[in-house]
Amino acid sequence: MTGRDVQEICAECAIPRRFTPPGSLWLADGHGNGYCHECLAMLELTGELLALASGWPYEREGERRA
């Protein structure tokens, strides 16, 4: 397995990039891990829920908390 192969597999769900539709959004973090669109959405939602549960002043795009 080469470094290129590692980036071609989602770090969260392990789906190979070749099994996702052409043009699908993938994002890499600073450690070289790649994430598919579905996992990115899930990780964002998890972050929002953790922020709300902890009382952290999290703002969604276009919203302001009073």
What number is the average pLDDT over the span 7-33? 88
**What is the model's pLDDT at position 65?**
56
d(CA 44, CA 15): 19
pLDDT band of residue 64 (cuts 50, 70, 90) is low
Give the single-character DSSP code of 63: -
Residue 30 located in a structural domain: yes
Domain that holds residue 32: 3-54
Higher pLDDT, 57 or 40: 40
**What is the model's pLDDT at position 8?**
86
Instruction: Decide if pLDDT at 10 tops 90.
Output: yes
Residue 66 located in a structural domain: no
DSSP for 1-59, written as a single string: --HHHHHTBBTTT--BGGGSPTT--EEE-TTS-EEEHHHHHHHHHHHHHHHHHHT----
**What is the model's pLDDT at position 6?**
47
- Mean pLDDT score of the chain: 81
Residue 65 located in a structural domain: no
